């Protein structure tokens, strides 16, 4: 197979980007991370993704004598990695693979609810949002973000569905997912599927990391993140098996955080 250069476009604070960063690290695949600034990412992400969407992560793949490829969306990136650079131990090709995919899918949906919960709370503290968003911004980008934040906040609230009903639904779904995970772990298992780490664990742990705030993550572990992004009113977030398991996954399997994720540290 020809050598390929991988570039991962991310936001430092994105848990979906963390899912891919962690997978690449675990698979020992070298890559360059390019942290982007929210809002300023829109045009490039839309152009690179080529799917009418602006979300990150996006993986750029450069191979000699082949056109440059851009893969947008964490699940599509995982499939590409498995297909083109696999097999990888994280993605078993056996009877367990359907269960692994189903859990990854479940937590992808929950990842959006995690974002809703965080931003509904965080938009009460504009200066903190600006600090987290602006970690890799140039000074003028920071100025623009500051000036346009009221408009950006309005658009963001609509895109994420931060209405009262939207939030009630997100809260309910999150509680259900955490209860499901508490139950899954209640037999004392270490991994969600089978007897070794798979993308089911990486997806669940990374997408819940903003709630569990593992100390290995340079953004989610910050005191300001916990104080201003996490709603203290959500008592169901209190210490519980699901969140303890996320911290354990980080403590035992996450040791190669790159500069992009550390941009705000
Ligand atoms: N289904 C997507 C979701 C990714 C996602 O929601 N990314 C957020 C950051 S956490 C994003 O890029 N939001 C900005 C945008 O969509 O323009 C995936 O799995 O990659």
Decide: 58 and 70 in contact? Cβ < 8 Å.
yes
Scored b (16 or more CB within 10 A) or e, 99-114 reads ebbebbebbbebbebb
**Mean pLDDT over residues 181-207, rounded?**
96
Which residue's CA is minimally distant from atom 10 of ligand 1?
14
Alpha carbons 236 and 255: distance in angstroms, whole number:
29
User: Where along the chain do its domains lie?
Assistant: 4-85, 97-255
* Spatial strand order in the sheet of 4-10: 32-35, 4-10, 58-63, 69-72
User: What would the two tokens of residue 242 be?
Assistant: 């699901």
User: Would you give the DSSP letter of residue 255?
Assistant: -
Which residue's CA is minimally distant from atom 9 of ligand 1?
14
* DSSP-based three-state secondary structure for 35: strand
In ligand 1, the atom with minimum distance to the C-alpha of 20 is 20
264, pLDDT greater than 50:
no
For domain 4-85, give the CATH number. Answer: 3.40.30.10
Which pLDDT score, from 0 to 100, does residue 90 have?
Answer: 86
Ligand 1 centroid to residue 188 C-alpha, Å: 33
Domain 97-255 has CATH 1.20.1050: yes
Which pLDDT score, from 0 to 100, does residue 97 have?
Answer: 86
Which residue's CA is minimally distant from atom 19 of ligand 1?
74
Around ligand 1, the residues with Cβ closer than 6 Å are 11, 14, 16, 54-57, 73-75, 108, 115
Q: What is the pTM of this model?
A: 0.94
pLDDT tens for each residue of 65-111: 888 999 999 999 999 998 888 778 888 777 778 999 999 999 999 99
Alpha carbons 245 and 154: distance in angstroms, whole number:
35
Ligand 1 centroid to residue 16 C-alpha, Å: 7
Which residue's CA is minimally distant from atom 5 of ligand 1?
55
Alpha carbons 35 and 13: distance in angstroms, whole number:
10
Give the pLDDT band of residue 35 (cuts 50, 70, 90).
very high
Cα dihedral 222, 111, 179, 102 sign: negative
Alpha carbons 138 and 49: distance in angstroms, whole number:
24
User: Best mutation site among 8, 9, 16 for ligand 1, i.e. most ligand atoms within 8 A of its Cβ?
Assistant: 16
In ligand 1, the atom with minimum distance to the C-alpha of 159 is 16
pLDDT tens for each residue of 103-158: 999 999 999 999 999 999 888 888 889 999 988 899 999 999 999 999 999 999 99
Scored b (16 or more CB within 10 A) or e, 157-183 reads beebebeeebbeebbebbeebbeebee
In ligand 1, the atom with minimum distance to the C-alpha of 15 is 10
**Mean pLDDT over residues 35-57, rounded?**
96
Query: Rg of the chain's alpha carbons, rounded to an integer?
Result: 18
Alpha carbons 258 and 6: distance in angstroms, whole number:
14
List the beta bridge partners of residue 63: 4
């Amino acid at each position: 197979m020809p050598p390929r250069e991988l570039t991962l476009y991310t936001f430092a604070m994105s848990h979906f980007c963390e899912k891919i960063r962690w997978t690449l690290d675990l698979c020992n695949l070298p890559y360059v991370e390019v942290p982007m600034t929210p809002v300023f990412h829109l045009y490039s992400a839309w152009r690179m993704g080529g799917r009418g969407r602006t979300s990150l992560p996006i993986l750029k793949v450069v191979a000699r004598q082949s056109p440059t490829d851009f893969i947008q969306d964490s699940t599509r990136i995982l499939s590409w990695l498995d297909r083109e650079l696999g097999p990888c131990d994280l993605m078993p090709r056996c009877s367990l693979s359907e269960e692994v995919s189903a859990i990854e899918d479940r937590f992808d949906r929950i990842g959006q609810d995690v974002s809703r919960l965080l931003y509904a709370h965080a938009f009460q503290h504009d200066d903190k949002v600006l600090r987290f968003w602006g970690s890799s911004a140039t000074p003028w980008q920071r100025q623009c973000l500051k000036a346009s934040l009221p408009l950006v906040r309005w658009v963001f609230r609509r895109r994420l569905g931060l209405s009262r009903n939207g939030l009630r639904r997100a809260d309910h779904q999150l509680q259900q997912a955490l209860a499901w995970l508490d139950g899954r772990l209640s037999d004392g298992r270490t991994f969600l599927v089978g007897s070794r780490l798979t993308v089911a664990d990486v997806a669940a742990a990374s997408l819940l990391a903003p709630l569990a705030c593992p100390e290995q993550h340079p953004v989610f572990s910050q005191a300001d993140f916990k104080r201003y992004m996490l709603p203290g009113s959500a008592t169901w977030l209190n210490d519980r098996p699901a969140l303890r398991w996320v911290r354990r996954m980080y403590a035992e399997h996450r040791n190669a955080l790159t500069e992009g994720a550390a941009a705000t540290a």
